Amino acid sequence: MNESNQVFVNRTLNMRKIKAIGFDMDYTLVRYNTQNFENETHKVLAQKLIAEKQYPKDISKLKFDPNLVIRGLVVDTQKGNFLKLSRYRSIRTIFKGQTQINYTNRREIYPADYIDFGLDHPHFSFIESHFDIAYTSLYMQLIELKNKGLYLPTTEQIFSDICQTVEAIHTQNDIKHKVMKDPGQYIHRNPQIAVELEKLIKHGKRLFLLTNSSIDYTTFLLEYTITPFLKKHSSWMDLFEIIITSAHKPSFFHKQKDFQELDKKTFEVQASIPVPSKGGLYQFGCAESLTQSLQLMEDEILYIGDQVYTDVVLLKQKCGWRTALVIEELAEERKKIQNNQGLYEDIKKLMREKTPIENKIHQLFSDQIENNHKNHNKKIHSLIRQTEKLDRELIKKITTANASFNPFWGELMRVGAEESLFASQAERFSCIYMPYLINFLSLSPRTYYRAKKRLFPHEM
C-alpha cells in the first residue's frame, strides 16, 4: 500500500512551518515484536505474583492471549470489569473477567450507561500503551479465575498487586535485560528510519528525542536500530539536538521540573538547570522549559508519539505543540476493512430495504392509535415479518464482518457505528496519525497535510 495513503489528517498541518520535530522512542522510533515482548512480560509478572505476593501457583499456567484486551478500554478495578466506551463515554461492550455481560445485566451494574473517569474516579484505569496489554490481560484472566471460585484478593487488590509488581519489574529492568540480551527476539529494525531522519536534518528540521525510558536502555535500542544504518552521522546521538530521557510523561507536559544534564559518555549527572541553554543529553525536565530552550513558538514544534492520552491529549491541552500519533493497530485493521467492503455494501443495501418498511409500520401504528381502530393489524404483522427476515440477514453479515477483527472487542476505532473513546481522543487531539512512523518519514518534509471537509449528518 502506498505510504502516502497511510498518513491521515485531522487538522491541517503545514510541515514547512514546523521547525522542530520531537520523537518518542518506544513504539514510535523503535517498533517492538509485541507478541514476544508482552508474552515475556505476562510470564514474568505471573511468576513474581506467585513468589512475592503469594498468589496461587496455578496462575503460572495462564498463557498470554493478545486478543483479550485492546488499547482504549477502561478497567473498573472496583468491579473487575473491562469496558469499551463510545466517544460520549457510553458503555457499548463490557466483560467481567473473560465473560461478556449482556445488555440487561449491564444496565443493572451501570444504570446511567455512562462512565466518568479521571482523577476523581481513581478506580477506573485507561489502557493506552502497548505496554499495558500484558498486565491487563493477566488481570482479566485472574478476575475470570476468581469468578470461577479460585481464592484471590478483591478485584481492587489484585489490580494494585499487579501494578506494584509491574513497577518493580520495570525498576529492576527484568524484561529490559532480556531485550538487551536478545534484541532480535523483541525488536523490529527498519534501516529506512535512519535514512529518513537524516533527510529531515538536510531539510533544516531540528530533531529532539523525548522518552520515558532510561538513558542506558535508550542508548542500547537506538544503537541497535538507528546507528548501524546512518550514512552521514556516526551515532544516533548526532541526530538529535536535545535528548531527554526518563522524562516522566505525562507530568513532563504540565509540571515544572528542572533538567539534569548528563555526560554523553558516562551518563553521570553534570548539572541541574531550569532551562537548557544548549543542546545535549538530559533527563527529567518539562515541556515549557524545552520550548524556551528551542526558542520557538509552540505551533512550530511537532511531537510524535504512540500513547493517545500521554503523548497527544495532555500535550495538546497543556502545551500547544502540534501532534502526531502512531497507531500500529491500523495497519492490520485497514486491510480487514478493505476485505470487508463487500459485506459493508450488503449491510447498507439491507438497511435501505429495512428503513422504509419500518417507517411504514410506524405510520400504520400511528394511524390506528390516533383513529382508534385496528384495521392495519394484518398489514403490520406482514411488514414486521419482512423486517425480521432482513434482521436475520443483517445479523449474519454484521457478525461475519465483526469476526475479522478482535474476537472480544471488534475494531479499535469503532463500537458498532459509533467512534470509540480511543478514536475520539485521536481525532480531537492529534493533528495527523499513521500506522507506523515510516509512513510519515517517507513523505517530503515539506508536505502540506490538508484536512478534508467533514460532513454533518444534515449535509450527507
pLDDT band at 1 (very low <50, low <70, confident <90, very high): very low
In sequence order, which residues have a C-beta less than 8 Å from that of residue 69 and are 6 or more positions away?
Answer: 82, 127, 132, 133, 136, 137, 140, 408, 409
pTM of the shown model: 0.93
Measure Cα distances from 445 to 6, 203, 386, 441 in Å: 15, 7, 56, 8
The separation between CA 190 and the C-alpha centre of its own chain, rounded to angstroms, equals 22
Query: Model confidence over 419-459: pLDDT tens digits?
Result: 999 999 999 999 999 999 999 999 999 999 999 988 888 98
108-130 as b/e: b if 16+ CB within 10 A = eebeeeebebeeeeeebbbbbbb
User: Percent helix, strand and coil across the chain, each rounded to 5?
Assistant: 50, 20, 35
Rounded to the nearest integer, the mean pLDDT of the chain is 94
* Mean pLDDT comparison of 102-116, 223-237, 393-407, highest-scoring range: 223-237
**Distant-in-sequence, close-in-space partners of 125: CB < 8 Å, separation ≥ 6:** 74, 75, 77, 136, 159
- Here the cell at position 80 is 473487575
> What pLDDT is recorded for position 115?
85
Which cell is 403 given?
469476526
Amino acid identity of residue 234, one-letter, is S
Q: How many CB atoms lie within 10 A of CB 190?
A: 18
Nearest to 361 by CA among 392, 347, 382, 391: 382
Q: What is the mean pLDDT of residues 52-62?
A: 95
- 281, β-bridge pairs: 243
- Of all residues in the chain, the percent with pLDDT exceeding 70 is 98
Residue 118 scores a pLDDT above 80: no
pLDDT at 119: 57
> What pLDDT shows up at residue 241?
97
Indicate the DSSP class of residue 114: B
pLDDT for 170 equals 86
Q: pLDDT tens for residues 342-389?
A: 999 999 999 999 999 999 999 999 999 999 999 999 999 999 999 999
Residue 156, pLDDT > 90, answer yes
* 5 pLDDT higher than 80: no
- DSSP line for 298-342: GGGEEEEES-IIIIIIHHHHHT--EEEEE-TTHHHHHHHHHHTHH
Q: What is the mean pLDDT of residues 326-351?
A: 95
What proportion of the chain, given as a percentage, has pLDDT over 90?
Answer: 88
- When pLDDT is cut at 50, 70 and 90, the band that residue 120 belongs to is low
The pLDDT assigned to 455 comes to: 86
pLDDT tens digits, 16-39: 999 999 999 999 999 999 999 999
Cβ atoms of residues 23 and 209 within 8 Å: yes
Distance CA 410, CA 407 (A): 6
Residue-level pLDDT at 2: 47
Calculate mean pLDDT across residues 163-174: 90
pLDDT at 249 over 50: yes
